[in-house]
Structure 1
Amino acid sequence: MNTLKKAGNWLAPPANKSEDGRDQWPSRTSFILAAMGGCAGMGNLLRYPSQVYNNHGLQWFVPYLMAVFIIAIPVLVLEIAIGQAYRGGSVIAYNNVNHRLRGLGLGLLFVAFFVGHYFVVNLAWIMDYFRNSFTSPLPWTGRGEEFYYQDVVANVDPIVGSLSEDGSSVLSYTSYPGIGLVGETVGWTAFTWFLVWLCIFKGVGLTGRVVYFTLGLPIVITIILVGRACSLENAGEGVGLVWATWRSSELARGQIWQTACGQVFFSTGVGFGYFTSYASYNQKYSNAVMDSILIVCSNVLFENFAAFAVFGVVGYLRLFPQDGVRLGSFTVGFLTLPLAVTEMPGANFWAFALFFTLMVLGFSSAFAQLDAIVTMWMDSGTKLSRPVVVTILVMISFLLSLPYCTQFGYYLLEGIDRWINDVALIFVVWAECVCSTTVYRWKDVTNQVGLLAFTIYNIGYFGGMIFGVAVAHAVSPPAGAGLGFGLYVAGAVASVTLSQTPTSGAARFWARNTYASRFWYLAFYSGNQLRRDLNLIVGTGKNWTIPSFWPLLMRYISAPILAIIFSFAYPSFYLLRYDPLHILGFTLAHVCLLVIGLGVILPRWFDVFLPPHRLNDGKVDTIPNVNQSAIDAEQKALEEGGDTTGPGKDEPIK
């Protein structure tokens, strides 16, 4: 019995404890690998090549790299830094930013939770292929589409609805005659959820070991697959589609910008909440900024390297892009690559390698998404043990995955996936950018310039985005840009004019003039103060600090770009409003927006997600331009009757 216990503790060791008693990763490497595993999944090997293919040419990298550096890295710095500094998952972390952002923290988990249900069904289809990879000849030889759609997905064709000729009304709604469960898909889905349970039920002590396998082995096999694909006949022409083609006219299409941002969100994992929960198990003073950049850049390198495997096959099969013909991620994973494998010597080995890699890569993303929900539950102060919580959530998740295992599950997946990503995910990331830089310590701002000025400024800021985007769609992009910028300028001028004169000095440059000082408080104070407070924790010693341009980038560049991208979803839905499953997905995505809004209006409704001793974390009184740590130290000293001079109180404003 003791031997079995020792073996169990070796395989599933209890987590280390940090100074505050919170579970801690076995090492910094474990955290980075787990975070990389969460974002390095099927989106890298399947979705990314399909997006590059559909926007073929070097011009793809213009919006793609802009999204990486302007949105993904800054938001990831935020998610990791607040999780690490505030020692909690996304709900606790955003409650510390402001108690009215509890709904935002829950919104991130909403996205992760509902994506996880159909993501696991994708893995179930891959497991079906994996099982058949041991059969010779491969059962999809010469019948790729028939095998995928009839044998694996096994969905009954829908009766497609339609709109009137002018698109103003719905003539008929799409109906789905097939409603039965697909037995093998159900079985593999149950098996996958069991593996998820097995990897996270003991916490980061076990997960920190699992990630060495779930990330390390797929990378090795991916290198082998790339080498094989690039050695195929005519592979060079396929690779040349990306690296030797330039079509600048493509950059004028909104589609390429929308798909680039969507791909970056999907592949890096920002907006899903698991980076914050993973970071909460870090050492408190870890190098969050370096980790964030390392995670995103390694993900970018991996998906661009892995794309060579697909484009080598594209050249081999001569599947060159044609106008109006798009390559979907499912097509890449379940049709293009499997068909190429059948024509290679040793087809069974390459099929095994391909689907094993896809399975393990996707699996690390699946348990990362559920682990974020587990962290929230455990942080709430529940009396249930972690294994019990994980078991309950896995059982609920399996039940919610069953609709995707039906004879209409593929179409349900398309409907939910599109709008969760295009509406809920983009809105959540937009809210992260604007809320963290607008409402953090907002009472400091109103204390210095007055509530009226604060309100007018933000009416101009938010109104400029909302009405500017609306007019851009209704009239023209230049008209929308002019109106949006005009509303912002009008709000800024009016607020500065009506503002009180600050009694606490602004940053060096802005302190030279009364009006400039007022504008600095309204435009920059919240984001800059969040940066300063976080840097006292994540930027200590030799750690990289969050740069001074970070809040400016988040609020005035990332947020407007995301608002524009978000607006594209509504015209797209208008053309698909005859499909009940797209209506369902669109509605579900807006439930996420409702959750965030309720958190702002009625934050007490979310008390259940927080432990009693942390309910007031986001309501602490502050002093303008004084770092939070100094206020906390002074308060503690007052309670103990000691020295009331807190550290950092005299730190200059930057």
Structure 2
Amino acid sequence: MAQRGADGRETWTSSTGFILAAIGSAVGLGNIWRFPGVAYENGGGAFLIPYLVALLTAGIPILFLDYAIGHRYRGAAPLAYRRMARPAETLGWFQIMLSFVIAVYYAAVIAWSLSYFVFAFDLRWGDDPRSFFLNDYLQVGDPELSTSLVAGVTIPLVLVWVAVLVVLALGVANGVQRVNIIFIPLLFVAFVGLVVRALTLEGAFAGLDEFFTPDWAALADANVWIAAYSQIFFSLSIAFGIMVTYASFQRRKANMTTSGLVVAFANSSFELLAGIGVFATLGFMAAQQNIAVGDLEGLTGPILSFVTFPAVISQMPGGNIFGVIFFGSLVLAGFTSIISILLGVAASVQEKFGLGQRASAVTVSAICAVLSLALFSTTSGLLALDTVDQWANNIGIVFSAIAMAILVIWVFRKGDVLRRHLNAVSTFKLGRWWVLLIGALAPLYLGWMLVQRVVVLITEGYEGLPQWYLNVFGWGMLGFVVVAAALLSAVPWRGRDNPDFRPWPALPEEPEPLARPDLPRQEETR
């Protein structure tokens, strides 16, 4: 039986359930295949300094902002922002549509991992993992609007969407929370086992030496600091509606800031663990080829997971066992993340249109599955995925965070209210420095990152792809998100909600919101 709060909203059954779910959202595929390569390419051990600075000045403060909005205004991103200030609903839908887009392609990567989990039993990729991945498995073709489905991707992708549908339909406590309570400890145990095994391989410590050896000169490079902020920003699942939604399901009297600290440091600890495991394994591969680790190719992204690692697995003793655990870990990490992404989308649809929990889960999962199969299980799926991911993460989410910081702090003047809300329910208290970090520092460094990235994409393109292709899957995708956000904001609310909603706890000197949601007076479904 689902547990509900005083306002009738379904809640996590405990703070542990919330924390594990939030960790499950934050710990995803990017922790395993992105962080090690980013750290290596940006100063090695020295990169940990800007990484820690970014965590403390950006990651944790913006995570707290997401928590505060969701927990105080009790809704998925569109409703929570609307309750804070009615015009802000559009920003909520912008974040949710970004989540929608990310979920559509993220499922494809989970499907690849599921396939490779099976392939690892007999090392099916053979002696040429690159050719197997690109030609035999994905059947990569030219950049085009392909309609040729790849059966090897389509079948596991359907299985992924069926599993997503089941978990979402079961709800917050019975579905999402139970999955994370099982999967997150299992993921941790499996990955610790992988790291321990990797450290016993020949050449492992040479790999760690490459990973941790500091290049202090890199700290003077602005791009290294941008890389650190980017990594923290994307790995914590902040500024695109996920944590707003998760916090809205937390009980009224819940220790929000302490939970946030646990989630943030658990995520970073897992990234560091992933870096140790990945580079210990790469050290073994370099030793087998009698070359330096730095001379290896494919140290980040899908190539690391689906080309470089299979090559390593084929050469190591007991490689198939290592491979099964590694790709099983990818499946677990990816699945907990996509569930968190889509929970926000499903909850938003449920609240806006007055659908039931299962009806919203079916609707969202079905639409996502159709688009996912049509776009990312084809022969051009890899190229489309890479392009959409680049624009969604490096432009869409960064813009979302800038808009959120400016609107909340400067336009709607809610910074101090949200700070006092967190202090009222939490043991770790926030000073006015938190509002300063969100309102001043965050827009500056994120704006710098955004401008630099936009200039590069406009002047240099991306990966040598044709401009028409970038216009469709890059700029076109962002255009779709903007238009969809505006249209969804314009649709009248049909959902069940209390039009007399007032935030709890009541705080002195809180200004009235710009407008109150003009929702129909209907009883909350129990």
TM over 0.5: yes
**Are the equivalent residues in 1 in contact too, given 2:199–2:205 (CA < 8 A)?**
yes
Further displaced range: 263-272 or 316-325? 316-325
Tell me what 1:421 maps to.
393
Tell me what 1:550 maps to.
434
SS at match of 1:539: helix
Residue 278 of structure 1 and its aligned partner are, at CA, apart by 1.3
Equivalent residues in 2 for 1:107-146 (5 A)? 107-135=94-122, 138-146=123-131
Tell me what 2:517 maps to.
none
Tell me what 1:218 maps to.
187
| Distance in structure 1 (CA, Å) of the matches to 2:332 and 2:112 | 13
| Distance in structure 1 (CA, Å) of the matches to 2:438 and 2:72 | 19
Residue 26 of structure 1 and its aligned partner are, at CA, apart by 1.5
Residue 368 of structure 1 and its aligned partner are, at CA, apart by 0.8
Residue 274 of structure 1 and its aligned partner are, at CA, apart by 1.4
Give the alignment partner of residue 264 of structure 2, picking from 296, 301, 323.
296
For the pair 1:540 / 2:424, whether they are aligned, the reply is yes
Tell me what 1:587 maps to.
475
Residue 417 of structure 1 and its aligned partner are, at CA, apart by 0.6
SS at match of 1:545: coil
Report the identity percentage.
26
Further displaced range: 61-70 or 416-425? 61-70
| Distance in structure 1 (CA, Å) of the matches to 2:7 and 2:402 | 32
TM-aligned CA distance change 1:220 to 1:231, over 3 Å: same
TM-aligned CA distance change 1:321 to 1:426, over 3 Å: farther
Give the alignment partner of residue 87 of structure 1, picking from 74, 83, 86.
74
**Are the equivalent residues in 1 in contact too, given 2:45–2:211 (CA < 8 A)?**
yes
What does the per-residue CA deviation read over 1:44-67, in whole Å, with 9 as the maximum and x for residues that have no partner? 111111212322422222332222
Give 1 or 2 for the bigger CA radius of gyration: 1
Give 5+ residue unaligned stretches, structure 1. 1-13, 159-174, 442-525, 619-624, 633-654
SS at match of 1:272: coil
| Distance in structure 2 (CA, Å) of the matches to 1:131 and 1:596 | 38
For the pair 1:246 / 2:214, whether they are aligned, the reply is yes
TM-aligned CA distance change 1:117 to 1:570, over 3 Å: same
The residue type equivalent to 1:367 in the other structure is: I
**Are the equivalent residues in 1 in contact too, given 2:36–2:300 (CA < 8 A)?**
no
| Distance in structure 2 (CA, Å) of the matches to 1:531 and 1:51 | 33
SS at match of 1:367: helix
TM-aligned CA distance change 1:592 to 1:608, over 3 Å: farther
Tell me what 1:520 maps to.
none
**Are the equivalent residues in 2 in contact too, given 1:101–1:596 (CA < 8 A)?**
no
Q: CA RMSD in A?
A: 2.7
Tell me what 2:138 maps to.
153
SS at match of 2:59: helix
Tell me what 2:419 maps to.
531
Tell me what 2:204 maps to.
235
Residue 273 of structure 1 and its aligned partner are, at CA, apart by 1.1
**Are the equivalent residues in 1 in contact too, given 2:409–2:438 (CA < 8 A)?**
yes
Tell me what 2:325 maps to.
353
Tell me what 1:329 maps to.
301
Residue 250 of structure 1 and its aligned partner are, at CA, apart by 2.5
**Are the equivalent residues in 1 in contact too, given 2:98–2:392 (CA < 8 A)?**
yes
Residue 592 of structure 1 and its aligned partner are, at CA, apart by 6.7
The residue type equivalent to 1:192 in the other structure is: V
TM-aligned CA distance change 1:341 to 1:389, over 3 Å: same
TM-aligned CA distance change 1:615 to 1:342, over 3 Å: farther
Give the alignment partner of residue 390 of structure 1, picking from 361, 367, 381.
361
The residue type equivalent to 1:387 in the other structure is: R
Give 5+ residue unaligned stretches, structure 2. 514-526
| Distance in structure 1 (CA, Å) of the matches to 2:435 and 2:469 | 39
Residue 380 of structure 1 and its aligned partner are, at CA, apart by 2.3
What does the per-residue CA deviation read over 1:84-137, in whole Å, with 9 as the maximum and x for residues that have no partner? 1111111111122221111111111111110111111001111111111222xx
Residue 585 of structure 1 and its aligned partner are, at CA, apart by 3.3
TM-aligned CA distance change 1:347 to 1:530, over 3 Å: closer
What does the per-residue CA deviation read over 1:275-305, in whole Å, with 9 as the maximum and x for residues that have no partner? 1111111111211111111111110011101
Tell me what 1:627 maps to.
509
For the pair 1:379 / 2:341, whether they are aligned, the reply is no
Tell me what 1:185 maps to.
153
Tell me what 1:438 maps to.
410
The residue type equivalent to 1:568 in the other structure is: Q
Equivalent residues in 2 for 1:195-210 (5 A)? 195-206=163-174, 207-210=176-179
Residue 396 of structure 1 and its aligned partner are, at CA, apart by 0.5
What does the per-residue CA deviation read over 1:588-628, in whole Å, with 9 as the maximum and x for residues that have no partner? 453277359959xxx9625438656449979xxxxxx9433
Aligned residue pairs, count: 501
TM-score norm. by structure 1 comes to 0.72
| Distance in structure 1 (CA, Å) of the matches to 2:177 and 2:145 | 45
Residue 528 of structure 1 and its aligned partner are, at CA, apart by 2.6
Residue 328 of structure 1 and its aligned partner are, at CA, apart by 2.9
| Distance in structure 2 (CA, Å) of the matches to 1:556 and 1:541 | 25
Tell me what 2:519 maps to.
none
The residue type equivalent to 2:423 in the other structure is: G
SS at match of 1:271: coil
For the pair 1:272 / 2:240, whether they are aligned, the reply is yes
**Are the equivalent residues in 2 in contact too, given 1:411–1:581 (CA < 8 A)?**
no
What does the per-residue CA deviation read over 1:568-599, in whole Å, with 9 as the maximum and x for residues that have no partner? 12222121173333222332453277359959
Give the alignment partner of residue 22 of structure 2, picking from 35, 40, 60.
35
**Are the equivalent residues in 2 in contact too, given 1:374–1:390 (CA < 8 A)?**
yes
TM-aligned CA distance change 1:278 to 1:542, over 3 Å: closer
Tell me what 1:19 maps to.
6
Give the alignment partner of residue 383 of structure 2, picking from 406, 411, 422.
411
| Distance in structure 2 (CA, Å) of the matches to 1:111 and 1:542 | 30
**Are the equivalent residues in 1 in contact too, given 2:199–2:280 (CA < 8 A)?**
yes
Further displaced range: 411-420 or 539-548? 539-548
| Distance in structure 2 (CA, Å) of the matches to 1:285 and 1:272 | 25
For the pair 1:311 / 2:298, whether they are aligned, the reply is no
Residue 200 of structure 1 and its aligned partner are, at CA, apart by 1.7
TM-aligned CA distance change 1:589 to 1:553, over 3 Å: farther
TM-aligned CA distance change 1:596 to 1:68, over 3 Å: farther
For the pair 1:72 / 2:59, whether they are aligned, the reply is yes
| Distance in structure 1 (CA, Å) of the matches to 2:426 and 2:69 | 19
**Are the equivalent residues in 2 in contact too, given 1:155–1:178 (CA < 8 A)?**
no
TM-score norm. by structure 2 comes to 0.89
Tell me what 2:450 maps to.
566
The residue type equivalent to 1:438 in the other structure is: W
**Are the equivalent residues in 2 in contact too, given 1:107–1:592 (CA < 8 A)?**
no
Further displaced range: 576-585 or 83-92? 576-585
Further displaced range: 250-259 or 14-23? 250-259
| Distance in structure 1 (CA, Å) of the matches to 2:482 and 2:494 | 17
TM-aligned CA distance change 1:330 to 1:542, over 3 Å: closer
